[in-house]
Chains A and B, each alone.
Chain A
């Protein structure tokens, strides 16, 4: 717990952030260079989908990252509610726009991939629909932050919203899957779990790591911005009190 308290101090955090930021950024760039090289030049084209299959290397990790960030957000919210850790709600708040961007990216690349595969940009396939609902959950979370003026109350209410959303995600996923099979037999593209070849799996995993580090880099930056914004607000409040 003592260690925890240390990072709770914004000044301590900013020092840690200053130390980590360049390293994390550098690793992110290296992972992306390697990952994109592997995906675009090394991995084989699919014999049915030809070169368009390469969209997968951008699309699938983006979807993973979208889900991962929501998990981070929900965990931070839980910490914020249970331990009242001062940095936790900052962490949740600053993660949301990044997660929204990843989810959006996965939706757009999914649509672009859909055109050659299904002949139309959008199909109400179970995965896409679930990702869409996740996108809406992000939007709602960000909207509630904006809507409440008092920062403490906003933090608490947003945490509740995030947690309820998080508990609902598996239920939504399950219901959408059920809805989808109800209407059409699963015929669209499915990744064959264990049969996936290493030449595809490795670039996919590298890209997954790249997205994770990208999130870390962006999140550190966003945390710094948010901590500074709060310090500014505190200083302004103190200043305004003197007038």
Chain B
């Protein structure tokens, strides 16, 4: 499987966030996105997830299910956790499992050792626990491409290690991961996509920062 982006251009609110971004990521590869705030890292992830339409360039997922959009073969873990405080942890996970078409909620709980909280109201969770719960969805729902936006924010050492294991397992199983992060994940990244190094980037970055 191979995810390819060619000469992608992203616009938001009439301004160019980035242009001329190209990348490839094959099965078992981790592509880390680096760059200053506002350089467009999150925008690229959202674009692959189908939440931003590219105004130029193309994307392709070779070896995936051809009949489905790329977005439907991706899992996007964003800043917001998408959990309802009025429901229990288990009910929340079960909903997302049903919605995305299957997956055992135990996998999600076990990935970050949250089993004891299954029957607790999600309102009782701390920020870090919510984060772990959101990342737990990765273990529950089976999709080949993971798009992780700052996945380690709010995680303690233990949980970061659990995330690392989860990501390794996914890569070993032939998955693809694109992640934005500032810290060293401790996994040998296959490639780094540096937004600052792209042509004309100095100018573009400053535009992005105004946002």
Residues of A within 8 A of B (CB): 149, 233, 236-237, 239-241, 243
Asked if B85 is at the interface (CB within 8 A of a chain A CB), the reply is yes
- Complex partner residue of B126 from A149, A233, A236, A240, CB under 8 angstroms: A240
- Complex partner residue of A240 from B85, B113, B124, CB under 8 angstroms: B124
Query: Could you say which residues of chain B place their CB within 8 Å of the CB of A239?
Result: 116, 120
Contact of A243 with B124 in the complex, beta carbons under 8 Å: no
Asked if B4 is at the interface (CB within 8 A of a chain A CB), the reply is no
Asked if B207 is at the interface (CB within 8 A of a chain A CB), the reply is no
**Measured CA separation A237–B124 after assembly (Å):** 6
Asked if B51 is at the interface (CB within 8 A of a chain A CB), the reply is no
- Complex partner residue of A236 from B85, B113, B114, B124, CB under 8 angstroms: B124
Query: Could you say which residues of chain B place their CB within 8 Å of the CB of A243?
Result: 113-114, 116-117, 129
- Give chain A nearest CB distance to B117 CB in angstroms: 6
Contact of B85 with A241 in the complex, beta carbons under 8 Å: no
Query: Could you say which residues of chain B place their CB within 8 Å of the CB of A236?
Result: 120-121, 124
- Complex partner residue of A241 from B113, B114, B121, B126, CB under 8 angstroms: B126
Contact string, B114-148, partner A, CB cutoff 8 A, digits 1/0? 10110011011110010000000000000000000
Query: Could you say which residues of chain B place their CB within 8 Å of the CB of A149?
Result: 85, 123
**Measured CA separation A243–B120 after assembly (Å):** 12
Query: Could you say which residues of chain A place their CB within 8 Å of the CB of B113?
Result: 243
Q: Tell me the nearest residue of chain B to A241, going by C-beta.
A: B126
Query: Could you say which residues of chain B place their CB within 8 Å of the CB of A237?
Result: 124
Q: Tell me the nearest residue of chain A to B125, going by C-beta.
A: A240
Query: Could you say which residues of chain A place their CB within 8 Å of the CB of B116?
Result: 239, 243
The 3 A-B residue pairs with the shortest CB-CB distance in the complex, in nearest-first order: A240-B124, A243-B116, A236-B124
Contact string, B49-63, partner A, CB cutoff 8 A, digits 1/0? 000000000000000
Query: Could you say which residues of chain A place their CB within 8 Å of the CB of B126?
Result: 240-241
Q: Tell me the nearest residue of chain B to A150, going by C-beta.
A: B123
5 residue pairs A–B, Cβ–Cβ below 8 Å: A239-B116, A240-B117, A240-B124, A240-B126, A241-B126
Query: Could you say which residues of chain A place their CB within 8 Å of the CB of B125?
Result: 240
**Measured CA separation A240–B114 after assembly (Å):** 9
**Measured CA separation A149–B126 after assembly (Å):** 15
- Give chain B nearest CB distance to A49 CB in angstroms: 49
Query: Could you say which residues of chain A place their CB within 8 Å of the CB of B121?
Result: 236
- Give chain A nearest CB distance to B128 CB in angstroms: 10
